[in-house]
A and B are shown apart, each in its own frame.
Chain A
Amino acid sequence: MEEFFQQLTNGLAVGGIYALIALGYTMVYGVLKLINFAHGDLFTLGAYLGLTLLTSLGLSGHLGTVLGLIVLAIMVTGFVGIAGALLERAAYRPLRDSHRLSAVVSALGASIFLQNTIMLIYGAKNYVYPLDILPRTTLHIFGLPVPLVRILILTASLLLMAGLYLFIQKTRLGTAIRAAAIDQGAAKLMGINVNQVIMIVFLVGPGLGGVAGLMVGLYYGQVNFTMGWVYGLKAFTAAILGGIGNIPGAMVGGLLLGVIEALGAAYISIAWKDAIAFCVLIVILIVRPTGILGERVADKI
């Protein structure tokens, strides 16, 4: 029972991180119908920026842990968001009217480019996050021990998701994003500045992905420049699982995938842990490509 509970909370914490990354995939897919392959590497960028800011500025020392981390998260969100918007401007906008697969290749190129930029700047070795930032305390819930880090990460990701959901559902800009996702042409005719909408999507999605990178650094204490691919693929799986283009779907999919993976690793085999997400991905694409919350659309001939 305790083992199960441990794996469950671990899965939820990791799932929260997947969900945050998955939101970026799903939002971009919503408006551009493009899988932003570079998203995973923007997430890595977030992890490295977080590390740099943490060690060079020593934020937590001056401001106190909680406030310091919040400032740090905001800075990472801002930087990675700007990187995302620049990426869109440079690598995707020129291809908006060309063949869809050209954009896919460009996205792959962007991913390789970003990943190796990080490698060239920081080097190929693993980096260790300072361990003393978050208290290593363990809480007891119903008599079962849960590390505080997990609760913090899950809470933070749930809060961010809730914030995003409100932003998309309740604000003018959110409405514009939803409109552009349904029909870009019609949105344009209704006076929505679609370029602006896409820019905002590329600010917000990668911004959230960057925070997720920071969280991974804090949770596992270690980052390396290739981790974006694995996290990216898993988060993409989460987005597909929930139904790509669907924001609540990405949240559900992320949490679900985190739990499936944690339980699978514990009860099936730890050696196959990374294969579990890929199996889920393949099965879902074969059985129900629209995901849990997605809708089926007929092809026009």
Chain B
Amino acid sequence: MMNEKYKLFLYSAFALILATAPLYLNSYWVDVLNSVGLYAILALSLNIILGDAGLYNMGHAAFFAVGAYTAAYLNTQFGLPILWALPVSGIVAGIAGLLVARPVVHLRGDYLLIVTVGVGEILRIALINDVFGLTGGPNGIFGIDRPVLFGFKIRKPQEFFYLIWGFVAVTIFLFYRLKNSRFGRALDYLREDMTAAEGSGIDTGRYQLYAFMVGAAWAGMAGTLYASKMSIISPESFSFWESVLIFIIVILGGSGNIAGVLLGTFLIIGLPEAFRGFANARMWFFGLAMMLMMIFRTEGILPHRPRVFKSLDRQRP
């Protein structure tokens, strides 16, 4: 019980420090935090697919791109306010997730990984080739509006900070609940043992698709936030390496553990900014860390833990 209180204190203190960060950090560092926030959304969304359901998706940047391009297109072509585009791009990316996953999700882990890499690359090539004249080719789409919230136009990094981290907070809130629900448990079962899950009465095929859908939809919404923050998007922002980076965050942070994924995001996106000289060697270091982690601590820095049911004691006679 002491442990629980300590944890709660730790999380609150962290939330407080983070929430007040724009007051004492300069624009540059706030922007770094914004970037961490966006990656946190991406990593949390991939965590549903990779960490919870155990599906090796290394093309997550594709769904990020679908969301960003959907929002950018709707905003620049039809003048749809960017925050209105948020749910739309979430839905479009979610559907993209379903369409991608449908034919390949049953493939074995390593095959699925390769296929998702392939899907990501095909999409990137499609974006460069300005497919159907929608994507603006290698230059991408520019002139995307800033978001407007209750008549207030969000422009400065400090303002974006609250938009992005507000979204992160909502994501954590919803995903934490989802994790501790029938849906979240079902994902655990199919990661642990597909045959046993199916044999226990879980429609494993459907839940695999759901996992992809939810993860992709959230990545799509992250894409919308990204598009409005940058006001210009181009294919190079959605390269294979983005997918690899998100994948590494989840694996190293602790797949299946929300706090672990957040910690992973800070370490992998934030830390290299703190040590600029390190930036060049960071991928080298991450590669090494992945190998060492698999040999010595397979589950990541903060591993997934079995759930504790607090109501249980009350129910026992």
Contacts and interface: CB of A to CB of B under 8 A. Distances in A.
Interface of A: 34-35, 90-91, 94-95, 98-106, 108-117, 119-120, 229, 233, 236, 240, 269, 271-272, 274-275, 278-279, 281-282, 285-286, 289, 301
A289 B111 contact: yes
A271 B128 CA distance: 9
Nearest to A111: B287
A114 B103 CA distance: 33
B297 to A, nearest CB: 10
B125 interface: yes
Interface stretch (B4-12, B113-121, B162-170, B221-229): B113-121
Contacts of B21: none
Contacts of A240: 111
Contact of B114 (A35, A111, A279, A301): A35
Nearest to B102: A286
Contacts of B290: 105-106, 108-109, 112-113
A112 B111 contact: no
A109 B294 contact: yes
Interface in B112-170: 113-115, 117-119, 121-122, 125-126, 128-129
Contact of A271 (B113, B117, B129): B129
B237 interface: no
Contacts of A95: 294-295
**B contact patch SS:** helix
A286 B103 contact: yes
Nearest to B282: A116
B20 to A, nearest CB: 36
Nearest to A301: B195
Interface in B281-308: 281, 283-284, 286-291, 293-295, 298
Q: Which of B121, B247, B251, B289 has the most CB of A within 10 A?
A: B121
A285 B111 contact: yes
A157 B197 CA distance: 47
Contacts of A285: 104, 107, 111, 114-115
8 contacts: A99-B298, A100-B109, A106-B294, A115-B287, A271-B128, A278-B121, A278-B122, A286-B103
A103 B281 CA distance: 23
Contacts of B298: 98-99, 102
Given A101-B109, A104-B110, A281-B114, A229 B287 contact: no
Given A101-B56, A106-B294, A120 B114 contact: no
A120 B295 contact: no
B280 interface: yes
B291 A90 contact: yes
Q: Which of B103, B122, B247 has the most CB of A within 10 A?
A: B122
Given A101-B110, A104-B56, A113-B284, 14 more contacts: A35-B110, A35-B114, A95-B295, A98-B294, A101-B54, A108-B244, A109-B291, A110-B287, A112-B283, A113-B291, A116-B281, A236-B114, A282-B115, A286-B103
Contacts of B107: 285, 289
A240 B280 CA distance: 35
A233 B240 CA distance: 12
Contacts of B103: 282, 286
A282 B119 contact: yes
A120 B280 CA distance: 8
